Amino acid sequence: MREFKRNQVEGAISRLSGSPTGEPSPELRTRLKRLLETDRSLGRNPRSKDPEQANFAFFSADAPGSGVEVWFSDYEAFALFTAWRLLEHGWPQASAVSIARRARPKLEPKHKEILTWDPNELFDEKKILAGVRAGSPVVFTTKPVYLVIASRHGRRPVDAESSGQMVEIVDEVELMRFLRSEVGLSATTFELTTAAHELRRMLGHTEPSKRGRGAS
């Protein structure tokens, strides 16, 4: 399993946000730091049956002692990137962490599976165009996977405590079935396959810092 320092995750996300050098802006660093701090501050209870209570969103274990640097797995880097995407689309910080926690039991194994898929097949433009169907979402991969955040109340929840909110990981067929089966559903979707492979590629262009900056 690959592991990355925080500076590497920041750099990869910075590149994906449009920075040609990969140097994170102060705003991006602050947003990521607050996501990590919020996740840590909530703690966890591994015995809980509630995935939001049982899981950290971005960590594998409780905080180590002072001076010990935290490393992030491929999945944890991806979870942080996904939460950052939520922030960029206007979701509150607490909601982004809540969603990432609840998604983890399904998203972590699916992310592992996605990274086994051949990029040459996934991003073949001819196959992508051949697979276009009327009414289907616009995607840039032959095997899209979606994070779906939905509310039966007909509006997007504004905080982590909103009732009726669902968090699902689905493929394209499941997505269309899901959306058609729910009356009055308000849903936000994020395509994950392209994001997972792009983040992996960008992480490959990073180097761990030699100093302790970025430890969490």
pLDDT value, residue 161: 42
- As to burial, measured by CB atoms within 10 angstroms (0-12 exposed, 13-18 middle, 19+ buried), residue 133 is exposed
pLDDT value, residue 38: 97
Digit-coded pLDDT (tens) for 142-187: 999 999 998 765 444 444 444 457 899 999 889 888 877 765 678 8
Q: Give the Cα separation of 7 and 5 in Å (integer).
A: 5
Checking if the pLDDT of 203 tops 90, the result is yes
pLDDT value, residue 88: 95
Higher pLDDT, 9 or 62: 9
Structural domain boundaries in the chain: 3-203
HSE of 27, CA atoms in CB hemisphere, 13 A = 5
Q: Give the Cα separation of 84 and 93 in Å (integer).
A: 9
pLDDT band at 127 (very low <50, low <70, confident <90, very high): very high
pLDDT value, residue 157: 43
The H or E element containing residue 214 is none
Q: How far apart are the first and last CA of the chain?
A: 20
